[in-house]
Amino acid sequence: MDNFRFYAPTDIRFGENRLSDELADVLNTYGKKVLLVYGGGSIKKNGLYDTVVEILRANQNTFVELSGVEPNPRVETVRQGIELCRENDVEVILAVGGGSTIDCAKVVAAGFYSEKDAWDLVLERRSYSGEALPIVTILTLAATGSEMNSGAVISNLAVNQKLGVGGTSMIPKVSFLDPKNTFTVPKNQTAAGSADILSHLIENYFKKTEGTDVQDSVAEGLMRTVIKNCPIAMQEPENYDARANLMWSSSLALNGLTGSGKTGAWSCHPMEHELSAFYDITHGVGLAILTPRWMEYVLSEATVDKFVQFARNVWGITESDKKIAAKKGIKALYEFFESCGIPMTLPEVGIGEEKLKVMAKQAVDHSTIKVNAYVPLDCQDVETIYRKSLVKMTF
């Protein structure tokens, strides 16, 4: 196990009906002037917007709104949020939504203090060390884990780039996690969010670092939890326990718990970011398409033991032949995504062969996947994985 620092300071308020008693006091800790950030309007349909606004008004908060945050949040929206904060002397940001809304809020919070353009700030990647406005979140989708970590991913469609940025000042101060706020999430978004959670766990699971029994065991348990509860939540959208387990899995998958002490680059996320940057597809769907193909591509005598561990401890596969067991684990993941109704080929989400080569190059250029991924991948490797994703897998 490698040296690490585990820093997860977010105050989690988990459970139902906590906003009315606690949100006002939480906001008062940081100030009265609020930027309310949310996405496409689902919080207005399910009544959460009215609840939040009522609390803000009763608490005599002054607030301005940044609405319409995109599923892949765009730098133009970040710039708009920064200007709203500066024009209105905002003291605290309240992000109500899923990972996209929270990611946007994080970069707005940092951009408020930065003299750089928002995109130049993103280009600093994971090394942002400046101040940020305090962020409070109300989570409405189990997926990215952004409610409990320092990272954010922002898209710039003008240059077809989708990049991650982060710093400790961007970690939310308080996050309200009420599973009831995910009851109205439709089946396709529940499935895509669950694929995102699984991908975060898989990316950290498949690392070269040895002796990480704690991290691996936690990741395996969380993967089994998602695999169990995603279908339940899809069939019974108001099943509190299923939604609660998905929500908490989302937070724990990417708060450092399963990744600390394991160094190396992620593999599938850099590849998927290019799909989203060029085609603006749903992140979790792209990850579901790519991950089993990546697994099949990097499976070898050198990696087979880890894949056997994945097959046995996550899927309960008992096959004694290592290679067969490993392939069965990959097949189980593919079929799970397929059973959730996730499109499992690139053409199903509108992606053909035209830009595979340029996307492969950017995936390598915008990451360290060629140097320190679990299995290093060059441009040709990435393009091959993309091409394998054009058709359904056969086992």
For residue 225, what are the contacts with CB-CB under 8 A and spacing of at least 6?
A: 245, 246, 249
- Beta bridge pairs of residue 276: none
For residue 331, what are the contacts with CB-CB under 8 A and spacing of at least 6?
A: 292, 393, 395
Q: Rounded CA gap, 255 and 163, in Å?
A: 19
Residues 255 and 144 occupy one common structural domain: no
Question: What tokens appear for 47 in the block?
Answer: 């009544």
Structural domain includes residue 123: yes
Structural domain includes residue 144: yes
Structural domain includes residue 2: no
Residues 245 and 134 occupy one common structural domain: no
Residues 234 and 357 occupy one common structural domain: yes
Q: pTM for the whole thing? A: 0.94
Residues 177 and 57 occupy one common structural domain: yes
Q: Rounded CA gap, 103 and 167, in Å?
A: 12
Domain extent at residue 293: 187-388
Task: Among 182, 203, 231, give the residue marking a domain's end.
Answer: 182
What is the helix, strand, coil percentage profile of the chain, to 5?
55, 10, 35
Roughly how many angstroms between the first and final C-alpha of the chain, as a whole number? Answer: 34
> What is the number of domains present in the chain?
2
Residues 258 and 374 occupy one common structural domain: yes
Q: Rounded CA gap, 154 and 81, in Å?
A: 13
Domain of 351, CATH number, reads 1.20.1090.10
Residues 216 and 94 occupy one common structural domain: no
Residues 240 and 367 occupy one common structural domain: yes
Structural domain includes residue 395: no
- β-pairing verdict for 151-156 and 161-166: antiparallel
Residues 123 and 255 occupy one common structural domain: no
Residues 59 and 171 occupy one common structural domain: yes
Predicted local confidence at residue 55, as pLDDT? 96
Structural domain includes residue 218: yes
Residues 48 and 146 occupy one common structural domain: yes
Residues 137 and 205 occupy one common structural domain: no
Domain of 32, CATH number, reads 3.40.50.1970
Cα distances from 223 to residues 73, 211, 275, in angstroms, run 27, 20, 24
Structural domain includes residue 4: no
Structural domain includes residue 393: no
Cβ atoms of residues 130 and 169 within 8 Å: yes
Structural domain includes residue 3: no
Task: Among 157, 182, 207, give the residue marking a domain's end.
Answer: 182
Q: Can you state the angle between helices 379-388 and 356-365, rounded to 10 degrees?
A: 130
Task: Among 136, 154, 182, give the residue marking a domain's end.
Answer: 182
Cα distances from 227 to residues 10, 173, 190, 249, in angstroms, run 26, 30, 12, 11
Predicted local confidence at residue 126, as pLDDT? 66
Question: Mean pLDDT for each consecutive 10-residue tract of the chain (395 residues)?
Answer: 93 95 96 94 89 95 94 94 96 96 96 92 81 97 95 91 91 98 96 97 96 97 98 98 98 96 94 93 96 98 97 97 97 98 97 96 93 95 97 94
DSSP class of 353? S
Residues 119 and 67 occupy one common structural domain: yes
Question: What tokens appear for 24 in the block?
Answer: 């006002």
